Chain A
């Protein structure tokens, strides 16, 4: 009996030993492996307020910032150890100490980020503090405040700022093992951007990569080094690629938020509006028909832009009456009728003015659309390809692309320049001056297309999502409905911490 129990106890001890060794040795082996080759570290602390929506917003931003840090390959975001270190740091806190700095120091990190995201009025804000621990990165210290009206964008904008932080940040590696024959193991690899078989020239030596791992590399160094020696290799993260991807996501969210009607339907109505509805509308009610036709796209409670209507009405009247005015009302009103007072040149001009009426109708329509898009806070269809579409509009319509991007004044300027050059060419057809006018028209057209392509949209609600940091002190007002359905009015003055 006792022998059996002894055997059982032996078995238990054996199993316990295996268990303990597994439990202790396995994590230890992980830790050892990790510290040996760990890159520089960063902790991202989310500091939410008590609102559940803000907590979620902050958590999302923290995740995005960590992802960007990992993508940039300079500071590895720590997550596993932060909670333990935070509790440890809290134990014997002194009043003058900062819990986050203490935690970061406990974790031997190079820098930490304090991030909070919250809603005030109609805006969402994110405050980011970058606090370097390692003096090597002192220059990265800064405070940034971002704002947005779209929930998904606030984390993306935070990520973008962190990506921009990595511009021109070289790889900082250390020798972690010395082999023979000038061969060393360094704690930088593919994650940091080191490539197999590349040769990097440093101020005091050359570094030839022999084998690259994810976080380590075997290198040959032309100068003698010892364990712990630092190497600064001028490889920089592809920040532009990361920023472009984040910008694309921001644009997509913004377009989804501000697009007019359902995707696909708005595009069709936009084309139908330009090609059919507006033409009919302008034939029935010249100029004001352009505004009426905009309702085909589904704007609610839209109002006409009267200066725009007046301007286009004046232009249409001018196109119909210019030959009359030029000849003191002596020529026949219709271009296809020639009389003794109507010279061939005058008839050509009259034909041109009448034939270009659809262009004016379309321009008037684009002008009214630009006003409606701005006043109702909507983005035009096809906005995902805004630059190409703007260039195509400018190709077919004078200033079309600029109206599309909301630059109405510039759009009308190009309209007048191109129409005047075209009219002059037609009026003086065959002469040298006509040739020069035609060249001028070509040049203006090219500028129009290029400008439409490169210029940024003028829609403020879109630009707000594209803007970077805002001033540290800002004033905002908003109205909210409280729990008892009462209205809460707030005036907010915010300042970066």
Chain B
């Protein structure tokens, strides 16, 4: 009987087999690579794609995805799945909706699914990035959500700037995620399943024993505290025995702070010219003319920059001081003296306060009128002169109220210091100068007693305020963060509630899901 396996047929068969095996091999490799991180001790993260809201955002979504993967990789906390392979697998099974992706993640033992969306809002775009934890304590819930609106008006944004913007938001997302995400690490044979060094005191958890391994969700309880060193578990709460599959949760706050500060430092270098001495000298020599011209300079600058909210704030906040300045400079004590009129402490204080506002008190509002725009442009990766150095910020805070904070880009805090400084200075001046009454008989002025104690108290308070302000200015970062955060997963704020016993005051902690 002639064999069916001739050389040619076998060769052909082998060619077919090789081709098939190749395909199968790739698929298996794909699955093996998907399952490889099963044995890795880091939590596994997968970026399942960035959805673009319009055609013009297609390239932006690709940039954001790349930057997300880069940022997650550089954080070093997660093992990240090969995104191309993942996409291929998900598309192959048409597994694109949330339910299916979560089921896939559970099957593939992925710990964290990251997806994002870029929406077109005309003059701005919105990045929404979600991280969903797959295992405890999330079971598919949103572990962290980051949503930011990025303004595009008034900026010339090319691909390179979009790359930077995407990188910045990716970094802030990852840092927020690291602060909020709780990674689950199991203890087996008295050792932590982690290739990273895990040391310290942790809460120890154990699953309730009513669930099977197949369950997607299970409840657990805290059973005590555990102390872990590089050698393993060294101490547990009294009466507790550590069993295999007990677990702890770990957060990564320090790493989050680190990647944020590294990014901030790099951005500062990119967007500021950073010439502290020259800039401070320029501010020093322009203080008096700029302050004197402030009532004209500041509104024009706000108007030119299209900063109408800044213009309104300037008008509302400056008007009372303009009144005192005008009143003080037009009613000088010297002219009163010439007319032999009584000089009240208020007249003296108004005059001196008017002089202060004329020579340096107006500078914060001039700074606000241009720094706001410059910092906005710096946030959009356009290099800026004059701003961004601590020496100038300290100088401005030293000579006026809130100047340094306006310079750093904090309008609210700037106005707060501006008002506190001006009020304390005015009160101090009012108490420092006595009423002077003209005595017609003696043809001279009689000084009334002044309240020295109060004057020094106000001056002391002003000094303390100045110290606080300067420390604040040194510690605070330049406000060059791009975009406006729309909402974050967690929030903390004051709370006022009405209840049957009256009004209750307190603090609230808000979680968005």
Interface membership of chain A positions 172-206, coded 1 if the CB is closer than 8 angstroms to chain B and 0 otherwise: 00000101110101000111010100000000000
Interface residues in A1-35 by Cβ distance below 8 A to B read: 1-2, 5, 8, 12, 15-16, 18-19, 22, 26-27, 29-30, 33-34
A98 adjacent to chain B (CB < 8 Å): no
How distant is the Cα of A371 from the Cα of B211 in the complex, in angstroms? 71
A216 adjacent to chain B (CB < 8 Å): yes
**B210 contact set on A, CB distance < 8 A:** 179-181, 183
How distant is the Cα of A103 from the Cα of B5 in the complex, in angstroms? 51
Interface membership of chain B positions 435-452, coded 1 if the CB is closer than 8 angstroms to chain A and 0 otherwise: 000000000000000000
**A253 contact set on B, CB distance < 8 A:** 122
**B140 contact set on A, CB distance < 8 A:** 189-190, 213-215
The contact of B141 among A29, A210, A213, by CB within 8 Å, is A213
Interface membership of chain B positions 127-142, coded 1 if the CB is closer than 8 angstroms to chain A and 0 otherwise: 0000010000111111
B217 touches A217 (CB 8 A): yes
A267 adjacent to chain B (CB < 8 Å): yes
B100 adjacent to chain A (CB < 8 Å): yes
The contact of A213 among B10, B121, B139, by CB within 8 Å, is B139
Evaluate whether A34 and B513 lie within 8 angstroms (CB atoms) in the complex, with A27-B93, A185-B217 already known.
no
A15 touches B21 (CB 8 A): yes
A85 adjacent to chain B (CB < 8 Å): no
A305 adjacent to chain B (CB < 8 Å): no
**B211 contact set on A, CB distance < 8 A:** 179
How distant is the Cα of A22 from the Cα of B14 in the complex, in angstroms? 23
Pick from B23-31, B234-242, B353-361, B475-483 the stretch touching chain A: B23-31
B306 touches A267 (CB 8 A): yes
The contact of B17 among A8, A30, A79, A193, by CB within 8 Å, is A8
Interface residues in B189-247 by Cβ distance below 8 A to A read: 210-211, 215-220
Interface residues in B110-155 by Cβ distance below 8 A to A read: 121-123, 132, 137-142, 153-154
How distant is the Cα of A475 from the Cα of B107 in the complex, in angstroms? 56
Q: How far is the CB of B19 from chain A (nearest CB, A)?
A: 12
B103 touches A33 (CB 8 A): yes
Q: How far is the CB of B111 from chain A (nearest CB, A)?
A: 14
Interface membership of chain B positions 10-38, coded 1 if the CB is closer than 8 angstroms to chain A and 0 otherwise: 10001001001100100110010000000
**A216 contact set on B, CB distance < 8 A:** 139, 216-217
B123 touches A263 (CB 8 A): yes
A37 adjacent to chain B (CB < 8 Å): yes
B27 touches A213 (CB 8 A): no
A80 touches B100 (CB 8 A): yes
How distant is the Cα of A80 from the Cα of B96 in the complex, in angstroms? 8
A190 touches B216 (CB 8 A): no
Interface membership of chain A positions 228-268, coded 1 if the CB is closer than 8 angstroms to chain B and 0 otherwise: 00000000000000000000010011001000000110011
How distant is the Cα of A333 from the Cα of B150 in the complex, in angstroms? 59
B28 touches A264 (CB 8 A): no
Instruction: Name the CB-closest residue of B to A248.
Output: B121
Q: How far is the CB of A144 from chain B (nearest CB, A)?
A: 24
A1 touches B5 (CB 8 A): yes
B94 touches A22 (CB 8 A): no
B5 touches A5 (CB 8 A): yes
B499 adjacent to chain A (CB < 8 Å): no
A30 touches B216 (CB 8 A): no
How distant is the Cα of A268 from the Cα of B305 in the complex, in angstroms? 10
B10 touches A190 (CB 8 A): no
Evaluate whether A190 and B219 lie within 8 angstroms (CB atoms) in the complex, with A8-B14, A183-B210 already known.
no
B98 adjacent to chain A (CB < 8 Å): yes
Q: How far is the CB of B372 from chain A (nearest CB, A)?
A: 15
How distant is the Cα of A34 from the Cα of B303 in the complex, in angstroms? 57
A214 touches B141 (CB 8 A): yes
Interface residues in B56-109 by Cβ distance below 8 A to A read: 93-100, 102-104, 106-107
A70 adjacent to chain B (CB < 8 Å): yes
**B99 contact set on A, CB distance < 8 A:** 34, 38, 76, 215
Evaluate whether A268 and B303 lie within 8 angstroms (CB atoms) in the complex, with A33-B216, A34-B100, A263-B153 already known.
yes
A68 adjacent to chain B (CB < 8 Å): no
Q: How far is the CB of A132 from chain B (nearest CB, A)?
A: 22
**A65 contact set on B, CB distance < 8 A:** none
Q: How far is the CB of B119 from chain A (nearest CB, A)?
A: 9
B107 touches A33 (CB 8 A): yes
How distant is the Cα of A215 from the Cα of B31 in the complex, in angstroms? 26
B456 adjacent to chain A (CB < 8 Å): no
A80 touches B95 (CB 8 A): yes
**B106 contact set on A, CB distance < 8 A:** 33
**B97 contact set on A, CB distance < 8 A:** 76-80
Q: How far is the CB of B474 from chain A (nearest CB, A)?
A: 36
B132 touches A30 (CB 8 A): no
How distant is the Cα of A440 from the Cα of B320 in the complex, in angstroms? 27
How distant is the Cα of A421 from the Cα of B108 in the complex, in angstroms? 77
B103 touches A190 (CB 8 A): no
How distant is the Cα of A218 from the Cα of B208 in the complex, in angstroms? 12
Instruction: Name the CB-closest residue of A to B139.
Output: A213
How distant is the Cα of A395 from the Cα of B210 in the complex, in angstroms? 67
**B20 contact set on A, CB distance < 8 A:** 12
A212 adjacent to chain B (CB < 8 Å): yes
A211 touches B27 (CB 8 A): no
How distant is the Cα of A213 from the Cα of B218 in the complex, in angstroms? 9
**B28 contact set on A, CB distance < 8 A:** 15, 18-19, 22
Q: How far is the CB of A335 from chain B (nearest CB, A)?
A: 26
Interface membership of chain A positions 68-91, coded 1 if the CB is closer than 8 angstroms to chain B and 0 otherwise: 001000001111100000000000
Instruction: Name the CB-closest residue of A to B108.
Output: A26
Evaluate whether A264 and B21 lie within 8 angstroms (CB atoms) in the complex, with A1-B5, A183-B210, A271-B303 already known.
no
**A392 contact set on B, CB distance < 8 A:** 312
How distant is the Cα of A173 from the Cα of B42 in the complex, in angstroms? 35
**B24 contact set on A, CB distance < 8 A:** 15-16, 18-19
**B258 contact set on A, CB distance < 8 A:** none
Evaluate whether A12 and B154 lie within 8 angstroms (CB atoms) in the complex, with A190-B142, A213-B216 already known.
no
A214 touches B303 (CB 8 A): no
Instruction: Name the CB-closest residue of B to A384.
Output: B123
A211 touches B218 (CB 8 A): yes
B107 touches A264 (CB 8 A): no
Q: How far is the CB of B408 from chain A (nearest CB, A)?
A: 26
Instruction: Name the CB-closest residue of A to B28.
Output: A18
A218 touches B218 (CB 8 A): yes
**B263 contact set on A, CB distance < 8 A:** none
A264 touches B154 (CB 8 A): yes
The contact of B122 among A70, A80, A210, A252, by CB within 8 Å, is A252
- Beyond the given A211-B218, A211-B219, please list 8 additional residue pairs across the A-B interface where CB-CB is below 8 A: A1-B5, A2-B5, A30-B104, A34-B100, A80-B100, A190-B142, A195-B513, A211-B217
Give me the interface of B with A, judged by CB distance under 8 Å: 5, 10, 14, 17, 20-21, 24, 27-28, 31, 93-100, 102-104, 106-107, 121-123, 132, 137-142, 153-154, 210-211, 215-220, 303, 306, 308, 312, 513
Q: List 28 A-B contacts (CB under 8 A).
A: A5-B5, A15-B21, A15-B24, A18-B28, A29-B103, A29-B107, A30-B100, A30-B103, A33-B106, A76-B97, A80-B95, A179-B210, A185-B217, A190-B141, A190-B513, A193-B513, A210-B219, A211-B217, A213-B138, A213-B139, A218-B218, A252-B122, A263-B153, A264-B153, A264-B154, A267-B308, A382-B308, A392-B312
Smallest CB-CB A-B distances: 10 pairs: A214-B140, A213-B139, A33-B103, A213-B217, A190-B141, A211-B219, A80-B94, A30-B103, A210-B219, A179-B210
